[in-house]
Amino acid sequence: MTALSLDTTKSVHSCKKQSVSHGLKLQTHPTKSHIKMESTTSAVLSAVTGTVAMTAAYAYAQRDWLKDQWLAFISPAIYNFLKGTTREQRALKYLKEHARQGDPDSVLETFDEFCRTQEWAMNAAEEKGDILDEIVRELQPTTCLELGTYCGYSAVRIARNLSPSARLITIEVNPDYAAVAREVVKLAGLQDKIEVINLDSADVIRELKTKYDVTKLDLVFLDHWKYLYIRDIKLIEEEKLLKKGSVVFADNVIIPGAPGYLEYIRGSKNYKSTFYSVHFEYMDDMKDGVEKSVYIGDE
């Protein structure tokens, strides 16, 4: 019998070589592409983490403002969906249940109560309302124009201080708001002084002289879409509806803001303007501003 001899050393080396060739325990050095990918991934993760951290920090710093936005805009939209009614309809219902018929002061006080205790609404109330009251009492206007009726709060506030022969034309482009405003005006007993028009403000301004028998405006209250302030004041000027001493009173010139309007009105030699720093409606921790501009130009 012939003896078999095995070269174990060779077998071991062969196995190691085979293992390496099949990648069973392959160890390689990282390539440049791997390094670049890892570097890019690290940079992206770092950027995302930094952005999240900054966003969280900003949200915390602005928590009161964010809370106000939730209460003012987001929460009501959800509530409207759940209730099947709008905030404006609920406000009208509250007024009819709690305000005294034919009493403008009662209507305003009840509306303020609703906004303070039930749901927020964008009315020219409190400090703003006090300034508006003072303007009307001092000016004693006979013909007033309001752009942006909303629910009729400021219309009632203006008209309650007007003389028996004076009138207010108020324009609201939203038909639902206009319908509520007419009911609020009627509840206050001021339907003979206030005319609520559901049209675009520019269309009405162009027809004030021909269709609405207006020659000059003593008071203009701007409280509609802020980007329309500058368009509509220029249109009022083009139609020559202002006279010396006419007052243009603009709400919310800081929040949401009307920078273009402020630049125009303050830069015009035809106006003498005064800015009032006031609180945003029904929010004690948020500042807004109103601008009173007296027309001193040529008629």
Q: Which of 252, 288, 291, 292 is catalytic?
A: 252
pLDDT for the residue numbered 71: 52
Query: Residue 210 corresponds to which amino acid?
Result: T
**How would you class 193 by CB atoms within 10 Å of its CB: exposed for 0-12, middle for 13-18, buried for 19 or more?**
buried
> How high is the pLDDT of residue 14?
45
281 tagged catalytic: yes
- What residue segments make up the domains of the chain, in order of their start? 50-84, 124-295
Q: Which residue has the tokens 């009022």?
A: 236
CA gap 293, 262 in Å, rounded: 10
Residue 287 is a catalytic residue: no
Look at residue 77 in the predicted model and tell me its pLDDT.
74
**5 vs 42: CA distance, rounded Å:** 57
- CA separation for the pair 256, 224 (Å, rounded): 11
pLDDT beneath 70, residues of the chain: 1-76, 83
**pLDDT of the residue at 23:** 45
Check residue 8 and give its pLDDT.
43
Q: Is 252 a catalytic residue?
A: yes
Residue range 12-31, pLDDT digits in tens: 444 444 444 444 444 455 56
pLDDT digits (tens, 9 = 90+) for 197-230: 999 999 999 999 999 999 999 999 999 999 999 9
Confidence (pLDDT) at 13: 45
In the 8-state DSSP scheme, what is residue 171?
E
CATH number of 124-295: 3.40.50.150
Q: Count Cβ atoms within 10 A of the Cβ of residue 57 and give its class: 0-12 exposed, 13-18 middle, 19 or more buried.
A: exposed
pTM across the whole model: 0.75
Q: Which of 281, 288, 291, 292 is catalytic?
A: 281
Q: Which of 68, 119, 172, 226 is catalytic?
A: 226
**96 in catalytic set:** no
Q: Return the pLDDT at 222.
A: 99
123 catalytically annotated = no
Q: Which of 68, 223, 232, 288 is catalytic?
A: 223
CB 230 within 8 A of CB 261: yes
Query: CA–CA separation, 86 vs 178, rounded Å?
Result: 13
Dmax (CA) for the chain in angstroms is 139
Say how far apart CA 169 and CA 95 lie, in whole Å. Answer: 22
pLDDT for residue 280: 93
